[in-house]
Amino acid sequence: MTRMSFLATQPVVAASNKPALDFTDGMVVVAIALQLLWAVDPFAAELWRRSFTRHLPTVLAIAATLLCVAGRVLFRPELRPELGSVVRTYRWLLLFGAFVIGGSLYARFALAIDSSFLLMGMSVILGGPVNLWLIRTSRTPATLVRSVTVAVIGVSLLGVLMNTIHFGRMLYHALEHVVLVAVAMPLIAGRKPLVRLSGAFLCILAAVAPNKITGYIVLLMVFAWVFVDDLMIRTAGDPDRIRGGLQRILGAFLGMLGILGVVFLYQATKSHLPDGNTVYRLHTYQMAIDRFLDSWLWGRAFAASAVDHFDLFVVNTSTQSLPTHSDPLDILANGGLLGAIPFVLGLLSILHAAWKMLTRNWVSGERDQGFARAQLAMYFLIMSSGLTVMAFNPVLNSASSSYVYWMCSAMMCALLSPDGQPAASSVATGSPLADEAMQRPTSVPRSRAAVRDTVRSG
């Protein structure tokens, strides 16, 4: 093959390993960063509480989305079929979001209820499928995902820093699943002992500074994942299968000893841990369960207030109208099985796809895990540990925290191909080429002479 014919058949790649973002994609990253700032609230400014600034990140996210959609539809019409793939990925959650929005609009305009579930439904669609479509249709999807990851880690580090300065305050309340996992990225992605030790230290500090039970649970989930992931990859790469199996058995015993150690540590320190205001929670949880039992099929169809008047005792807040502090119970009480089933199926489908991709290294034993797999593990941990946090806190009932949660689901799905399989074989093994596989290079059109030279040269 001649030199010219060889060059003519090569894919076009960016001159730089990190191509620049388009202006509209940059606006999406800025909107996501603002949502993170509003949710984590590292400076305790409580901008999410003020009427003037409460919805600023959401408005910017909608504006950036509209600009991106307009540009792609007008100048890149070949990307329209990608919408079908995104809808298939989020089909169950789209049904859930439509149900929530429909009931909330009826509550807002027909029943004059201000505190509706409208933002919960909008966040599902805007944060999840819309962001996934924007990433998959971007000219530089890997750069866009990487930029969002940097924003998540940067804001989380800022939150931990400020919470350490103001030790004991809860600056990122109900966002432990995002902050702790993000600052643990050196532990998840690193290979050098000092790098991994710094990630473990930051994760521990992020849990201790606010002193929240849910934070300690997320901390244990992160450490458990790192331990199991390292054990399975190391033993899968062992040529001696018997020795690898014995190492896994030993690892299982060490894991059980670790669980016993955690139980003993909890018993020894529970007097110094927060009680979680169990009296308040049990009362509101019982109210939600009673509502579900009264109407288990569709609940209140989300045509009701997202907060309730708490009459058991006076709480130390500006109002007695408070949320249930459990998103799963809220969904059951207000949506019944018609709301809970698509919610559960939608979450399990995307988590299962990410789980299958991550555990392929447990079979192949590939230890060269690139940044793409580390990002996938980070977003998978955010999504899975977020289920624990939302069981005891109103994550989905808050505009910014809900958007951030579903945005992380879009990042996770973006690291998978449309059918839930790896975008390339290198992604499954965690190769550094995984990022390049997302760039979707196109071949240079060849002239007839170049084709003739190629055929002659064999």
What mean pLDDT do residues 32-47 have? 90
The secondary structure of 78-147 as a DSSP string is GGTTHHHHHHHHTHHHHHHHHHHHHHHHHHHHTS--SS-SHHHHHHHHIIIIIHHHHHHTSSSHHHHHHH
C-alpha closest to that of 158 among 176, 179, 131:
179
Contacts of 443 (CB under 8 A, 6+ apart): 9, 10, 11, 12
Coil, strand or helix at 208:
helix
Q: Tell me what pLDDT residue 311 has.
A: 65
Rounded Cα gap, residues 132 and 31, in angstroms: 15
Query: Residue 441 — pLDDT band, cuts 50, 70, 90?
Result: very low
Taking only the tens place, the pLDDT of each residue in 347-362 is: 999 999 999 999 998 9
Average of per-residue pLDDT across 433-446:
41
pTM for this entry: 0.86
**Which of the four pLDDT bands, split at 50, 70 and 90, describes residue 368?**
low
Neighbours of 317 (CB within 10 A): 9
Ranges 19-28, 119-128, 300-309, 360-369: which has the least confidence: 360-369
**pLDDT for the residue 320:** 65
A 10 A CB-CB count for 76 gives 12
For residue 31, is pLDDT > 50? yes
Quickly state the pLDDT bin for 72 (edges 50, 70, 90): confident
442 sits in the region (left: phi over 0; alpha: psi -120 to 50; else beta) called beta
Band of residue 18 on the pLDDT scale cut at 50, 70, 90: low
* Average pLDDT value for residue range 394-404: 91
The mean pLDDT value for 289-294 works out to 94
The pLDDT value recorded for residue 4 is: 38
pLDDT digits (tens, 9 = 90+) for 75-87: 777 777 788 899 9
Examine the pLDDT at 30 and tell me if it is beyond 90: yes
Q: Are 45 and 162 in contact (CB under 8 A)?
A: no
- Model pLDDT, residue 364: 84
3-state DSSP of 357-382: HHCCHHHHCCCCCCHHHHHHHHHHHH
14-23, 285-294, 432-441, range with greatest mean pLDDT: 285-294
